[in-house]
Amino acid sequence: MAEELKKEELVKIQYKPPKKDWMDTPVKFRHGTYIYPAKAKNLQYLDLPNPREWSPVDEDWKLPENWKEIVLNGMKERLDKYRSFKVFMDICVRCGACADKCHFYIGGGDPKNMPVLRAELIRSVYRGNFTAAGKILGRINGARDLTKDVIKEWFSYFYQCTECRRCSVFCPYGIDTAEITMMGRELLTLLGVNVNWILEPAANCYRTGNHLGIQPHALMDMFEMMLDDIKDRTGIKIEPTFNRKGAEILFITPSADFFAEPGMYTCMGYLMLFHELGLDYTWSTYASEGGNFGLFTSHEMIKRLNAKMYAEAKRLGVKWILGGECGHMWRVVHQYMDTLNGPADFLQEPVSPVTGTKFENAKSTKMVHIAEFTADLIKNKKIKLDPGRNDKLRITFHDSCNPARAMGIFEEPRYIIKNVCNNFFEMPENTTREQTFCCGGGAGLGTDEMMETRMRGGMPRANAVQYVHEKYGVNRLSCMCAIDRATLTTLMEYWVPDVKVTGIHELVANALVMNGEKERIVDIRGEPLKDEKGENHV
Amino acid sequence: MKIVVAFIVVLVLAALPYAGIQYAGMSTVFGIIIPYAAVAVFILGVVYRIVKWARSPVPFRIPTTCGQEKSLPWIKQNKLDNPSGTAGVLGRMALEILCFRSLFRNTRTELREGPRLSYASSVWLWLAAIAFHWSFLIILIRHFRLFSQPVPHFINVVENIDGFLQIGVPTLYITDILLLAAVLYLFIRRVVLPQVRYISLVADYVPLLLIFGIGLTGVLMRYFFRVNVIGVKELVMGLIAFKPHVPADIGTLFFIHLFLIATLFAYFPFSKLMHLGGVFLSPTRNLANNNRMVRHINPWNYPVHVHTYAEYEDEFRDKMKAVGLPVEKE
């Protein structure tokens, strides 16, 4: 896997495009740069078309007989339904401002990973089939026919885009490649051309409530382990509730944080914080997933998976919903949920029971981001913090793509970090906030068979971490995204091995002074609070 | 190859009126019929395109947020880059349309030894774009002198500002220089930068060459080979009064200029030049980021299959009861 890829080889990047026109360059599938296709059983479970066994390296992808008609009808339908798609098909002037803004292009040099060309893959078919000028002038006007090779090319490049929207920050017309990629993936879904790393979690989530397919009794076991660890480190036994009717708040977070390091430390942070506050809240086993791999499949799938949040809130009779640290979950919750699954008229406008603060900005969806919630607690001095307990950590913060460019939640996490840690260092400004770089594994790309693409795509992020690592001795990369906590960990092991990854609420957990706790000698990971020399930082 | 095709296209376009006027005496065709046709195509085409865009709904509110969101009262919101209301959106759109805000952010990424990635601010594209578009607009406004009798005062003001250097006779307009220089830069950039050349279509070179041709013929007429301006104005006033006639001896150069403009107008609705209209309709820019405050309605939101809690409990009831989880049905 990652170890087999030599860094020296990887950074020999050829940015000069080939002589041959891109329309004459068919796609090649090479190990490490494509994701395995979705298994038939997952398509069947989700009622998706054309379930079968196939492979991208096969000549024949076993497409439905009328595949062309399906795609063109699908395009027409989407052009009529989404102004974004239609306008973005028409107005690009190919100025190239987006070209070197994509992490996959920066880390790989493949011209089809320039956002403009990624969009042209589909725009060329649009011109050839839906515009008069394209039909008459053909290739002179940048039009081409829809062929099976085009489908293969779409599959390759729409699954080499993490829908991070960085390019859309720089586009003078706001053309959003995420929107193009989402349409491309929807069209591929009509043909049953999907990847397993997205559809398996989606199918699991549909059935069991979470991506990992954790059944309710197993979920209890996982929480037991986390609660035991918390008792071990703090001396406090926490007893959270599940599926409890009449709780004030329903808490939903990505299931990846229930068991895997380092995400589970963030989850332990939530448990500790809510316990300390005496919050009247419940977890749900039915809505046990904040993430939504529907976002990486189709708008319909977003709605089907996300319906559980409101349905469960209604069944349990809670007042409002609190959401944990996650990236794409918040793209869905913030930009899609109310529209698709609302109105949430059975809930109440969220008010923090601890501070009395009204979360005005969430008055319609009735769902509050944990960073907003915790920042408000700290501002109102409702929790006792000892930032010195994080002193061995020298921390930087990675803005996750979706909370950054689909919400703009920049100050809340920084405010929390600065209150729970003493050593915080920003990465260079072209790599943070709205210009933040993707981890390289978002939007359903974070799988091991995609390792080369991921390490290339994550290179700009890793490079900025390396910069603050060398300059300030940064040894911890914080983020508020569950996919990040998994993918950045691999990325750091490869590019900057001295830096470990953490969630924000893990840092909160370390600093949180709890009523009745024993003297803390280890952090929430069970590692000594201070290093051997008794000094605070490494 | 694409560049050669574009050159040929524009040269042929320039040769047509020359031949037509010089050898065939087709001044009615080039002076009246084609301008009318071009303007008709332009207006109908632009309206058609915008109506077509507008007929597709905006199902989701998907602004790209480029600053701090509105959240807690003590956190300062970036109202222009992440607006939460109409005023902010208007401000954001004004910055975008008048100042090319997003393009101004442009950086150049470089991979150096180490490896070390660097991102340097790169304003040249922005500078050329802004010089080009504003010059074009000002030149267009100056041309209203030909469309009005008496000439409105503000056109004189614009002319005075544009010619403030007071060089030469007739006075040199700065926008004439800026327009030609900016178009030339944009063209050269497209040809020289390998990545940009790779993504360029014939349809990207043609408008640049066409506009350069328009600018060049305009400059030649004004500063070097004077045409009969009185005649030009007579022609234009006749056209807009729908009493068209072509005065004699206007000069062939003028007809080349006019024909290239007519081509640009007629081509406009079918080309990427429609970004002029599209930029107003871009959902990542023209919507407020108030998603959790105000519900956005999707007109085609339809019911979907979901996995209900009842179905979930039916499958896992025994397991849930075994670990003490509450259930709806015993």
Q: Is A532 a domain residue?
A: no
Residues B194-204: tens digit of each pLDDT? 999 999 999 99
Q: Is A40 a domain residue?
A: no
Q: Is A35 a domain residue?
A: no
Q: Is A3 a domain residue?
A: no
A176–B contact, CB cutoff 8 A = yes
A110–B contact, CB cutoff 8 A = no
User: For chains A and B, what is the number of CB pairs under 8 angstroms?
Assistant: 311
Where among A193, A226, A245 does a domain terminate?
A: A193
CB contact under 8 A, A140 and B203: yes
Give just the sign of the alpha carbon dihedral A524, A530, A531, A536: positive
Distance, CA of A203 to CA of A190 (rounded, Å): 17
pLDDT at A3 over 70: no
| Min Cα separation A17/chain B (Å) | 6
Instruction: pLDDT band for A538, please (50, 70, 90 cuts).
Output: very low
Residue A222 and residue A182 share a domain = no
pLDDT of residue A493: 97
Q: Is A41 a domain residue?
A: no
Closest chain A residue to the Cα of B292, Cα to Cα:
A362
Residue A430 and residue A300 share a domain = yes
A355–B contact, CB cutoff 8 A = no
Where among A193, A213, A244 does a domain terminate?
A: A193
| Min Cα separation A393/chain B (Å) | 24
Find the radius of gyration of the CA atoms of chain A: 23
Residue A59 and residue A93 share a domain = yes
Domains of chain B: 2-322 (1.20.950.20)
The encoded tokens of residue A162 equal: 């993490």
Residues A101-123: tens digit of each pLDDT? 999 999 999 999 999 999 999 99
CB contact under 8 A, A94 and B270: no
Q: Taking residues B277-304, report their average pLDDT.
A: 97
> Nearest Cβ partner of B199 from A96, A217, A333?
A96
Residue A214 and residue A188 share a domain = no
Please list, in sequence order, all residues whose beta carbon lies within 8 angstroms of the beta carbon of residue A71, skipping any fewer than 6 positions away: A146, A151, A187, A190, A191
Could you give phi then psi for residue A431, rounded to 5 degrees?
-125, 10
Residue A354 and residue A260 share a domain = yes
The region, left, alpha or beta by phi > 0 then psi within -120 to 50, assigned to residue B324 is left
Instruction: pLDDT band for B167, please (50, 70, 90 cuts).
Output: confident
Chain A residue numbers touching B74 (CB-CB < 8 A) = 379
Q: What CATH number has the domain bearing residue A129?
A: 1.10.1060
Give A501's strand partners. Answer: A477
> Nearest Cβ partner of A361 from B67, B270, B292?
B292
Residues A344-395: tens digit of each pLDDT? 999 999 999 999 999 999 999 999 999 999 999 999 999 999 999 999 999 9
Q: Is A38 a domain residue?
A: no
pLDDT at A537 over 70: no
Put simply, the chain A residues between 472 and 531 with a CB less than 8 A from any chain B CB are none
Best mutation target, B55, B130, B195, to test chain A (most A CBs within 10 A): B195
- The structural domain count of chain A equals 2
Distance, CA of B291 to CA of B84 (rounded, Å): 9
pLDDT of residue A532: 61
Q: Is A65 a domain residue?
A: yes
Query: Which among A219, A108, A201 has a CA at the least distance from the CA of A446?
Result: A201
pLDDT of residue B47: 97
Residue A223 and residue A112 share a domain = no
The encoded tokens of residue B5 equal: 């095709």
Residue A162 and residue A215 share a domain = no
CB contact under 8 A, A106 and B67: no
Chain B residue numbers touching A351 (CB-CB < 8 A) = none
Within a 10 A sphere around the Cβ of B238, how many other Cβ atoms?
Answer: 16
Residue A208 and residue A184 share a domain = no
Put simply, the chain A residues between 356 and 415 with a CB less than 8 A from any chain B CB are 357, 359-365, 367, 372, 375-376, 379, 404-412, 415
pLDDT of residue B39: 97
Q: Taking residues A248-275, report their average pLDDT.
A: 96
Q: What strands lie across the sheet with A476-479, from one edge to the other?
A: A395-398, A476-479, A500-503
Residue A318 and residue A179 share a domain = no
pLDDT of residue A333: 98
Distance, CA of A235 to CA of A358 (rounded, Å): 34
> Nearest Cβ partner of A206 from B68, B194, B307?
B307
Residue A400 and residue A367 share a domain = yes
> Nearest Cβ partner of B204 from A94, A207, A410?
A94
pLDDT at A2 over 60: no
CB contact under 8 A, B203 and A142: yes
Q: Is A318 a domain residue?
A: yes
Closest chain A residue to the Cα of B66, Cα to Cα:
A434
pLDDT of residue B226: 84
pLDDT of residue A140: 87
Residue A221 and residue A137 share a domain = no
Residues B83-113: tens digit of each pLDDT? 999 999 999 999 999 999 999 999 999 999 8
pLDDT of residue A254: 97
Long-range contacts, B84-87 (Cβ 8 Å, 24+): B84/A361, B84/B288, B84/B289, B84/B290, B84/B293, B85/B288, B85/B290, B86/B288
C-alpha distances in Å from residue B179, one per residue of A42, A43, B196, B277? 58, 56, 21, 21
Residue A223 and residue A307 share a domain = yes
Domain coverage including residue A246: 203-511
Instruction: pLDDT band for B165, please (50, 70, 90 cuts).
Output: confident
